[in-house]
Chains A and B, each alone.
Chain A
């Protein structure tokens, strides 16, 4: 028996690219098929029935038809428009950052249900919670976990010795934390404060509710963001583009959040 020509899947739209006159290629992340590209025909025309259902960051049910090269979207029905994500720039920017990371980190058509769940939960949190940055840190740490890049936080990566409650070092080359003695031979490492290490461990092992309960000072938040971003860029071997937009938002922020 041959595989059916038309199949159904849910998926979260990560991004879109223009194709030809009126079409777009959409990249979706599905629970059972991983990341895949599909052609949405005619979505750049105003009367397109598909257009609204395949916007980035929507959670949608798709009917896809096997194509010669790319599969083609035949029907789409949005499950969750995540409206709040679209109406607040701070939320939109962070959601796009999340989408970019998932897109960059995952290979095509390789099932990874934990990543799908993490993505869906993260987008829902970004749509509803107030402390947005800690959602991103949690997402980053868990994404690394699910993809096999879990940083070593329990012992010194180099000598295996126990980590004392002092300022240790964060080394992306080593893949985790170095004790002060080993850090002396690692010129590219950065100081890692005791609180940052504790928080990282919680991000790696705790559930989100536990993470969200912790009150973090802005200095600590900045340190966590710096370390994790450095780690992600090191693993990806490329820049994270939407991170620049988050930086821009921060510079122009402070102005009352308005829609």
Chain B
């Protein structure tokens, strides 16, 4: 990465390198972004720098649901309108955004910040599992919805959590798995089709 723009002035090549480290940004995109900012008005660059700093300074994890937030507890945990008897367990904060977009869930969340991945050495201790169990033991939660991704690791995580939560006498549910809207039946894999059949519903 250090070979980017050897002839550019120091501050410029430093910015190029910084951009280059970001996910999905290669050397060429990094150069383009840098030269865009060079020509952009002072305020725009200032605002960007400020925004980056604020994200790092003000964003913390909500002490209740572990979502990223600038206020603790986060706005969802504070919202009196929400159903406090349900907790939806997700892998990443971005999953909450996706679920919120649907507008059809009014309960609380819990972010694990990852997923059990034995081959990568990520077990329950590396996730926010202890925090979830603590919430379940004190709160009046009646249902935990497993919304981890429907892949091997997400399923393993859901099964593992189910095993821990079931003895507490709390209902555990799993997001339905089946065919995505707009999909083609002939391309569906066996697992998805089997699950879609299992979960078929009266029309």
Contacts and interface: CB of A to CB of B under 8 A. Distances in A.
B160 interface: yes
B191 A47 contact: no
B191 to A, nearest CB: 5
Nearest to A88: B159
A245 B167 CA distance: 21
A241 B159 contact: no
Interface residues of B, number: 32
A92 B188 CA distance: 22
Interface residues of A, number: 39
B123 A55 contact: no
B163 A55 contact: no
B194 interface: yes
B121 interface: yes
Contact of B189 (A57, A78, A245): A78
Interface stretch (B48-56, B69-77, B179-187): B179-187
A65 B81 CA distance: 54
Interface stretch (A96-104, A123-131, A141-149): A96-104
A89 B160 contact: yes
B118 A241 contact: yes
Contacts of A97: 118
A92 B152 contact: yes
Interface string B176-203: 0000101110011111101000000000
B38 interface: no
B188 A259 contact: no
B163 A92 contact: no
Nearest to A257: B163
Nearest to B157: A89
A96 B119 contact: yes
Interface of A: 15, 20-21, 46-47, 49, 51-53, 55-57, 78, 81, 83, 86-89, 92-93, 96-97, 99-100, 103, 239, 241-242, 244-246, 248-249, 252, 255-256, 258-259
6 contacts: A53-B189, A56-B152, A81-B191, A93-B118, A244-B123, A245-B116
